[in-house]
A and B are shown apart, each in its own frame.
Chain A
């Protein structure tokens, strides 16, 4: 079996502010193979964005306790000195964000930002970097790429800015792209364009992508594998078809059931009672137990076991549903 591109092992992150210490991630483990698209799916407070940022160590230093291991191409990222990490960021691992308006520097043109990134990592000439920047803009399907190099971020529309951000991220041909809800703030017709663009780029460049989202529809459009997060843990992970068609964890099942699809109207939806828990006040044992219709007393006591419903489909639950090949 080939070595995974990215391996996260037992990641635990606690944040301390002046009042208390809150555990945001409580033992997250995942593997990402080369050329694979993994969706981290979860609601607010599930820890999905924190997981992503921890790969690039983008979390504040003060007051954050991290334990566990993240290995990229078999190198332990937490052991890297700062200089090596900075060389890695943008070059081998790149990230795109939800709000391109804040991710792109408003006082520099788009072209300048891309050129600067390329030159900083690869030290090529200005002319060559500019040529590559133009190619990148064309590749992300920004029309009139030559002119757009000279545009400032605020002169571009939302979809264009998102594409520019993707171009910036791909400037140095990274192996891994981290996407933090890049389509959440976009209109539906623009969202599908960006998703298809990412899929195409992924195929063409052999990119691996970790895509964080709260939208099951987005996951169904883009993911090869999906990992469902709840309260700082991955509660289910597997190939996207398996998880969406035969969910194993009660949370996944309830989430799918309460998600609206085309052609349903009028009657009360099955809804999950309560709300996603506050990371500061988590119950012991399985965090979903208070809202779970299948919970029994043992669920609140210890950590739920990891159950395999298929070799690549695991579920963190004492009483999973839909078991069986």
Chain B
């Protein structure tokens, strides 16, 4: 046998990537990838604008959103300082759009946040413990999941009555099943991985394993999925308002605006299309943003 050219592993072992060049931390890596994705950046900027304009509606709106004028109804763009025209009661569309953004965004985001808390908890528990607990939770969730989301939202809203809180409540209930399902499957997948086994084999109790090892790895994918539901929530909320459930007049909300401006399509379609465009833009931006987020979080080194 030839004598080896090299001796024992005496060379110092260095990490695969040198310290300076690598982004330490998972979130920092995600941030870096996001910053290189032009689509995501643009969508984030658009959404930031929308959110800021909703928050500062009071300063930005040129007119009182509730002030009606029987003379200046359904005027086109640019009419006497009304940049986006007036609606069927003579109110400034731009101002109503800005104020309406508050309610629309609220109805879009808060049900998802609430559903994430409840559904995420239920799904993680079901996925982690398996067995009878899993069956109990998931089959109950499946009952709700069987209904088409729009019908479910309408049914719950209808029985609760109109109003913003009821709308938020019914949308939350609609979103709990899909989020619970996703968290359950992700948790069940993580639970079988070797590092969870190693944690259990070192004598850790179930809750320690859950908290330290499972949750962090589950929250990521579930969070991304939940954010993709925001655009759905906005559209559903608009739909509820359109149907007369949810937000009631004279409040400004994009879906409600669509409803009340519907007859005006025959007179001046552009004015009627404005709230629809706002819903569309917000929805698409959220969608593309979450796509970019998922892509950034997905790739391993």
A residues engaging B (CB < 8 A)? 18-19, 247, 250, 253-254, 256-258, 268, 270-275, 278, 281, 290-294, 321-322
Contact = CB atoms under 8 A, between A and B. Distances in A.
Contact of B6 (A19, A247, A292): A292
Most buried by A among B6, B8, B10, B33: B6
B7 interface: yes
B194 interface: no
Given A273-B11, A274-B11, A291-B11, A254 B36 contact: no
B8 A270 contact: yes
A190 B6 CA distance: 35
Task: Tell me the interface secondary structure of chain A in the complex.
Answer: loop
A270 B1 CA distance: 12
A253 B10 contact: no
Contact of A268 (B8, B33, B36): B8
A270 B6 contact: yes
Contacts of A278: 16-17
A39 B5 CA distance: 24
A270 B36 CA distance: 45
A254 B10 CA distance: 14
B2 interface: yes
Interface of B: 1-11, 13-14, 16-17, 33, 36
Given A18-B36, A19-B36, A278-B16, A272 B6 contact: yes
Contacts of A322: 2
Nearest to A278: B16
A311 B4 CA distance: 25
Contact of B5 (A18, A19, A281, A293): A293
Given A18-B36, A19-B36, A278-B16, A321 B5 contact: yes
Contacts of B36: 18-19
Contacts of B17: 278, 281
Contacts of A272: 6, 9
Given A19-B36, A278-B16, A270 B7 contact: yes
Contacts of A321: 2, 5
B33 to A, nearest CB: 8
29 contacts: A19-B36, A247-B2, A250-B5, A250-B6, A253-B4, A254-B4, A256-B2, A257-B1, A257-B3, A257-B4, A257-B5, A268-B8, A270-B7, A270-B8, A271-B8, A271-B9, A273-B6, A273-B11, A274-B9, A274-B11, A274-B13, A274-B14, A275-B13, A278-B16, A290-B11, A291-B6, A293-B4, A293-B7, A294-B5
A30 B98 CA distance: 69
A67 to B, nearest CB: 27
Which 9 A/B pairs are nearest by Cβ-Cβ distance?
Answer: A273-B11, A270-B4, A293-B6, A257-B4, A293-B5, A273-B9, A250-B5, A271-B9, A254-B6
A253 B11 contact: no
A257 B4 CA distance: 6
Contacts of A257: 1-5
Given A254-B6, A293-B7, 5 more contacts: A18-B36, A253-B2, A290-B11, A293-B5, A321-B5
Contacts of B1: 257
